[in-house]
Chains A and B, each alone.
Chain A
Amino acid sequence: AQSVTQLDSHVSVSEGTPVLLRCNYSSSYSPSLFWYVQHPNKGLQLLLKYTSAATLVKGINGFEAEFKKSETSFHLTKPSAHMSDAAEYFCVVSDQGGYNKLIFGAGTRLAVHP
């Protein structure tokens, strides 16, 4: 069975400093992995996706993530945080059961301080 664990429920950074949101996954096959972002009272927006092509994936708003099979990790990074990055971030793995079903992590709330 597939699962995803987000290692931090809250992360706090200062504006202009790097962001690291950690995610480990478990899958019995080669998964597709995604990061979504949710601003308060909004829907989820796809940041980036990994689908077995390049292991370093670039997304929107300067975010990127690296797929490391040996570590079963898919951490999200950004070189310099902006105040508008404050939101909830979800690491997601594809469900082997098909129909594009997704399995969500519990989320990491990112706070950005001036």
Chain B
Amino acid sequence: SQTIHQWPATLVQPVGSPLSLECTVEGTSNPNLYWYRQAAGRGLQLLFYSVGIGQISSEVPQNLSASRPQDRQFILSSKKLLLSDSGFYLCAWSVGSGTYEQYFGPGTRLTVT
């Protein structure tokens, strides 16, 4: 069966510090991968998605970037965090290119102080 991991689970970082969040998927090949942010009391905002190694699409211009160095690894990064980067970050995967469901990881709670 497929599983998705995210780490760390929680993170407290000062403004201006770098960020690296990691997401890995097991049990499937060539998944589509997604990064979302969920701000407090708000819905999900799609940040990036990837359909293959090195293929990244950005949905919202911002302080963050994403990379996919391996087929089942998706990394979210920032060089300098802003207070507004605080939130709950979720990684998800899907397969196929139609209108299929996504499966979500457990999330990372990021607090920028």
Q: Shortest Cβ distance from B84 into chain A, in angstroms?
A: 19
Residues of chain B contacted by A101 (CB below 8 angstroms): 34, 46, 49
The answer to whether the Cβ of B87 comes within 8 Å of any Cβ in the partner chain is no
Binding site for A on B (CB under 8 A): 32, 34, 42-44, 46, 49, 51, 57, 88, 90, 92, 94-107, 109
B32 touches A43 (CB 8 A): no
- Cα distance, A45 to B88, chains bound together (Å): 15
Question: Please, which residue of chain A has its CB at the minimum distance from the CB of B38?
Answer: A38
A41 touches B96 (CB 8 A): no
- Cα distance, A105 to B42, chains bound together (Å): 10
Q: Shortest Cβ distance from A23 into chain B, in angstroms?
A: 13
A90 touches B106 (CB 8 A): no
- Cα distance, A113 to B96, chains bound together (Å): 41
B100 touches A90 (CB 8 A): no
- Cα distance, A32 to B88, chains bound together (Å): 26
